[in-house]
Copies of this chain bind each other. A is one copy, B any other.
Amino acid sequence: METLSQNKAFGGTQGVYRHKSTSTQCDMTFGVFLPEEASDGPVPVLWYLSGLTCTHENAMTKAGAQAWCAEQGIAIVFPDTSPRGEGVADDEAYDLGQGAGFYVNATETPWAPHFNMWDYIADELPTLLGKEFSIDLDRQAITGHSMGGHGALTLAMGLPGRFTSVSAFAPICNPTASDWGRKQLTAYLGADEATWAKHDATLMMEQSGFDGPVLIDTGTEDQFLDLLKPEALASAANSRRQQATLRLQPGYDHSYFFVSTFMEEHIAFHADALYAR
């Protein structure tokens, strides 16, 4: 693992690191913020999965998360959203290929064998974090924005017991029924829709739910609301009596201004769950 940069921030350290990934078979870059408390021993960690077109950097510089993570004494990790580089397949569309990994393991050409973002986030990167940083892997929580909200919800429900709590900002809630989903799941996983179900938060909520608290914020003026389908997830969560807070925030859109506005509350929500474990 190589250190690309380290900046002191809010009493802690915001670092950017690169490593050769076995899951994605390319170099991967990620950001980690460690609060001051990490110098005294392992701290809880919050995962932040980013949306379409983002790298590790967007949320790291624009979501305003470090202030609140420092206050709560928790680390936050910002992974990239796909494999990248010259040998890695791509597409001209912004919503397929590099920057649009959708947190699945691709089985189809030309996306396999690089596009294994599920394995990267579920297995490889946590192992690396536990080895290289003062992070307590017994206390993990997860959040994300848009495509990253989809990733957070599906990873949380797909890895029972791993995360204390899950939240999301304007997540893609029902990708098997959305143009943000059907296109990508077809490309990465093939036409057999049976393989898609474990990557759809609404279907997973119907099947199994999440063993912990859920917090989701979506803006009423989100320009992508028809693609996100929060109503599908809300229906599933309510039908199963899932412990959840699902909020529609009046006037807010899909931008980082929306994300940063509610970041303090999301991090406090996760801190409550992390410190209760």
Contacts and interface: CB of A to CB of B under 8 A. Distances in A.
A196 interface: no
Contacts of A252: 8
Dominant secondary structure of chain A at its interface with chain B: mixed
Nearest to A62: B61
Interface in A224-277: 251-253, 255-258, 260-261, 264
A264 B64 CA distance: 12
A145 to B, nearest CB: 14
B61 A251 contact: no
A9 B258 contact: yes
A66 B7 contact: no
B64 A257 contact: no
A83 interface: no
B219 A261 contact: no
Contacts of A221: 8
A14 interface: yes
Nearest to A13: B251
A10 B66 contact: no
A104 to B, nearest CB: 30
Contact of A10 (B14, B67, B261): B261
A8 B256 contact: no
Q: Place the interface of chain A in its size category.
A: 20 to 34
B14 A257 contact: yes
A257 B67 contact: no
A67 B64 contact: yes
Interface string A54-66: 0000000110101
A265 to B, nearest CB: 12
B64 A8 contact: no
Given A62-B61, A64-B67, A257 B7 contact: yes
Contacts of A253: 7-8
A36 to B, nearest CB: 11
A255 B13 CA distance: 12
Given A8-B251, A8-B252, A257 B66 contact: yes
Given A10-B260, A61-B62, A64-B67, 9 more contacts: A7-B255, A7-B258, A8-B221, A8-B253, A8-B257, A11-B261, A64-B64, A66-B257, A67-B260
Interface of A: 7-11, 14, 61-62, 64, 66-67, 219, 221, 251-253, 255-258, 260-261, 264
11 contacts: A8-B252, A8-B253, A8-B258, A8-B261, A9-B258, A9-B260, A10-B261, A61-B61, A61-B62, A64-B67, A66-B257
